[in-house]
Homo-oligomer: A and B are copies of this chain.
Amino acid sequence: MIYLDHAAATPVDARVLRAMEPYFGEKFYNPSAAYLPAKEVAADYEAAKGTIAHAIGAKGADIVITAGATEANNLALSAVSLDGSCRPFSSPTSQGSVGDPLHGRHPSMLYLVTEHDSVRRVAERYGGQGIEVLPNGMINMEDLRGKLSDEVELVSVSLANNELGVIQPLAEIAALIREVRLDRMRRGVRRQLLLHSDASQALNLLDVNVARLGVDLMTMNAAKVYGPKGVGALYVAHGVRLKPVSVGGGQENGLRAGTENVPGVIGFARALELAHEHLNGNRKKYAEWRRILLSELEGYELINRKHCLDNFVVLCYNGIDAERLVFLLEERGVYVATGAACAASKGVRSHVLAAIGLSDSQIAGSLRLTLGETNDEAQIHEAARVINDVVKAEWDRLSGIKASHSWFF
């Protein structure tokens, strides 16, 4: 079995699970209870939040624990305070396209058109407008600059895209935002302007530091960094006001009530520690594996050429149905994806690949390989061999069909 879909899910590292285990058992107490063992659990929980914060150069008090990246993205975008913020979500049955809900009004937030649906669909609610990307998947800075009207309160740009792995120039975006803020101040425009980034895919591949990136809000996800599913976090810079996800017992500074998921947060902290420890080694390793794949694979077009995470390889076999390749490869024990898992399961065309200008036929022929800790170098060579085999067989089958058709008709 060769798993090449680490962007969709990662197994929990054995060391992470070991760190979590006591909190399912003997340290199961409610962190809000008054007796000492519960207070010790509360202290461990706060320490874990401190560790999560430390991994991104922040303080524990700046971290709101969530149930994952989607909830963190939803919470981050609640910073938009315009009347639009109160527009109810569209009904769950109308999971249609993300249109332009502005009707001539100015947008209150901007988001990269290649963002995950948990940003795009929330942005819709807040009257958001998309920022274009260049054919290489990088943000079109001129488009951002042009759309940064005085009504914009928030800009959301992921640190690394979940389908392409393309790394966005956050520091450059932050510099532009600082410039606009200063200009607004000079002109007496008092509206806030915040920068949010979904860093879910990047946390174990880039050295992420909120101050260096210049973000006010940043989304994290344990499940993408060999931590448990169902746990994420939002970094919230001091002074940024958000609307609570849920109200009740007042946990997480009143922003997200509910008994704390102690084992989950302990696991998330340990996963980030491990990611940090192995950051440079892993990057080198993945870069080498990527190089091996690109040299041993045949007949592909490389979609993500540069400025991308070292473990992302997005290939296009124009003319082949990549969904068929996923099934054929699965039969040979190689697990790959055509794009984001949640989109794939609904059979919708990738909005990311469309945004970088791929044709329908290119999109239909695109495979995403994401390398990770379940792999070793032998697997990479083997994967290249199997993919070449399967692709060749598929070309043969297709040309056979073509030949028999041309003979028959």
Selected A-B contacts with CB under 8 Å, 19 pairs? A8-B32, A9-B28, A33-B337, A34-B326, A67-B71, A67-B258, A68-B261, A70-B246, A70-B248, A74-B245, A74-B246, A91-B254, A95-B250, A117-B249, A118-B247, A118-B248, A230-B263, A245-B246, A251-B342
Contact with B along A18-52 (1 / 0, CB 8 A): 00010011101110111111100000000000000
- A261 touches which of B17, B37, B67 (Cβ 8 Å): B67
Known: A88-B85, A246-B74, A326-B34. A258 touches B344 (CB 8 A): no
| CB of A361 closer than 8 Å to a CB of B | no
Interface of A: prevailing SS: loop
Q: Judging by beta carbons under 8 Å apart, are A254 and B17 in contact?
A: no
A301 within 8 A of B: no
A385 at the interface (CB under 8 A from B): no
- Compute how far the CA of A253 lies from the CA of B92 in the bound complex, rounded to whole angstroms: 7
Of all chain B residues, the one with the shortest Cβ separation from A85 is: B88
| B91 in contact with A249 (CB, 8 Å) | no
For the complex, what is the distance from the CA of A326 to the CA of B34, rounded to whole Å? 7
Q: Is A311 an interface residue (CB 8 A)?
A: no
With A117-B249, A118-B258 as known contacts, state yes or no: A9 contacts B34, CB within 8 Å. Answer: no
Which interface residue of A35, A70, A91 has the most chain B CB atoms within 10 A? Answer: A35
A149 to B93, CA, bound (A): 31
Contact B8 A24 (CB under 8 A): no
> Is A259 within 8 A of B74, CB to CB?
no
- Residues from 76 to 128 in A contacting B, C-beta threshold 8 Å: 85-86, 88-89, 91-93, 95, 116-119, 121-122, 125
Distance in Å from the Cβ of A36 to the closest Cβ of chain B?
A: 6
Q: Is the CB of B8 within 8 A of A30?
A: yes
Q: Are B33 and A259 in contact (CB under 8 A)?
A: no
A248 in contact with B32 given A258-B67, A259-B223 (CB within 8 Å)? no
Q: Does A351 contact B (CB under 8 A)?
A: no
The chain B residue with its CB closest to the CB of A246 is B74
Question: Counting chain B CB atoms within 10 Å of each CB, which of A14, A92, A337 scores highest?
Answer: A92
Query: Which residues of B sit under 8 angstroms from A323, Cβ to Cβ?
Result: 34
Which B residue's beta carbon lies closest to that of A247?
Answer: B121
